[in-house]
Amino acid sequence: MTNRNDSPATPESVVDQRVVGPILVVTIRRESKRNAIDAATTAGIDEALNRLEDDETLRVGILTGGPSMFSAGTDLVRTAGPPTPRGGEYGIIRRKRRKPLIAAVEGFALGGGMEIVLACDLVCASRGTRFGLPEVQKALVPTCGGLFRPVRALPLNIARELILTGDPLDAERAHALGFVNRLTDPGGAFDAALALAERIVRNGPVAIEQSLAVTQTLTGADDGTAWALTDAATATIMRSADALEGRNAFVEKREPRWSGK
């Protein structure tokens, strides 16, 4: 397949778009910040995924962070900016999509980075990659689907362990548990994602769209309740003394002193 209509990252966009036949490749380019999501990155992801949905010549998307890492989550200094009208948080978390989106993951996908992966349909990852939701270690909770989407994508007790310990899950175990579709050698996640996308686009477009719609409807049937519970948990956390202590301990590079309040 040939490339066309490339849209390279700029200092303003920090997200580039590359078209390979009917496949849109979206790459986060903030390596110096561990691909942390700031407002410009949110806008770039949103723009790219809007293009995927609106351009009828595009049939599958691949979202990657490049050859070294996926994303460390929200930029704690600059913040991720407001939710977008079509995509929600990070431009993707609450998006209604008609076309499959594959995450190609190298290195790590942590916090919001993991929540972005959970918002995709399929996952390709290299050996040694780590997936994690470390929020609880700072007396916080995941706010972008990380409290309920792991329960759908992983066995219940593994999801609980991920959420309650904050410890990472390596790609090898994630593959054995069915979360990762393709496990590769380091540096091979994107090629695996491209091969998987090319396999999908050989099938009927309407059949793909309708099949995806059914699976999304079934897995997202209780999203209203899930988001309401997440919002309630977040509100409680943000009023707690422990949340402030967690942030202070992180900044001061010391062990937190929890009060349970």
| Residues involved in catalysis | 115, 135
Query: DSSP secondary structure string, 29-55?
Result: --GGGTT-B-HHHHHHHHHHHHHHHH-
Q: Cβ(198)–Cβ(209) under 8 Å?
A: no
CA distances from 168 to 57, 88, 253 (A): 38, 25, 20
Vertex 69: Cα angle to 64 and 71 (nearest 5): 75
Q: Identify whether the C-beta of residue 27 lies closer than 8 Å to the C-beta of residue 40.
A: no
- Element containing residue 58 per DSSP (H, E): none
| Distance, CA of 41 to chain centre | 13
Q: Are 160 and 168 within 8 A, CB to CB? A: no
For CA atoms 76, 82, 87, 93, the dihedral sign is: positive
Give me the residues paired with residue 61 across strands: 24, 101
> How far is Cα 141 from Cα 103, in angstroms, rounded to an integer?
23
Reference 123, options 82, 64, 45; nearest CA is 64
Tokens 């090319």 — which residue? 198
